[in-house]
Amino acid sequence: MKNNNKQTETNYKKAGFEELLKKFDKRDKSFKDAIEKSGAGYFCISKEGLYVDINNEWLKLYKYNSPSEVLGKHYRLSKNDEDFEELEKTVKKVLKGATVNYGEVRRICKDGSEGYHNLALTPVYIDGKIEGFEGFVIDTTKMMIAERELIKKMYANNKIVNK
């Protein structure tokens, strides 16, 4: 599982990141409060693929310390090659106007560890045009680990019974 952070980071000055932030700042400020209090990880990504907003829960889930480590970088930073290709197909649909409940996905955290979460994506409209997408992530890592352990135990018990 290779995570090509260096290859996927975009120079935010070249990408006009300051202008992107101004555009996304037009959104309702009360929305930010609701997101911060939701308990879910939240992200907003420009149509160029750059993170323009994340909340504290997102930082915790991905094990980052500060928004400055993520903002202006491409969302590929949290995906391996295989997962990125699959997600990219869905992002294209969302950037055409679809809202997608993607289901459970794997994430690559800053420290290289993996986690799992449910993901929902929706387009972001600014001045009537799709300028990016946003979504929520609900952590399912503990549930995924518990399911794996249960399957191992069931398999081990079945082996013993069948001997």
Q: Give the CATH number, domain containing residue 66.
A: 3.30.450.20
Average pLDDT for 1-18: 47
**In the predicted model, is pLDDT for residue 118 greater than 60?**
yes
Residue 52: closest CA among 84, 10, 91? 10
pLDDT tier at 13, thresholds 50, 70, 90:
very low
Are 107 and 116 a contacting pair, CB within 8 Å?
A: yes
**In the predicted model, is pLDDT for residue 29 greater than 90?**
no
Q: What is the pLDDT of residue 21?
A: 66
**Residue 106 domain boundaries:** 5-161
pTM of the shown model: 0.72
Using CA atoms, how far apart are residues 135 and 122, in angstroms rounded to an integer?
Answer: 6
SS3 state at 42? strand
- In the chain, what is the greatest distance between 2 CA atoms, to the nearest angstrom? 68
Residue 144: closest CA among 123, 119, 115, 109? 115
Q: What percent of the chain has pLDDT over 70?
A: 75
**In the predicted model, is pLDDT for residue 15 greater than 50?**
yes
Cα Rg for the chain, rounded, in angstroms? 18
Q: What is the pLDDT of residue 4?
A: 42
* Beta-ladder partners of 45: 51, 133
Six-digit token string for 148: 């794996």
Are 34 and 57 a contacting pair, CB within 8 Å?
A: no
Between β-strands 129-139 and 100-108, what pairing exists: parallel, antiparallel or unpaired? unpaired
Using CA atoms, how far apart are residues 97 and 81, in angstroms rounded to an integer?
Answer: 25
Q: What total number of domains does the chain contain?
A: 1
37 versus 88: the higher-pLDDT residue is: 88
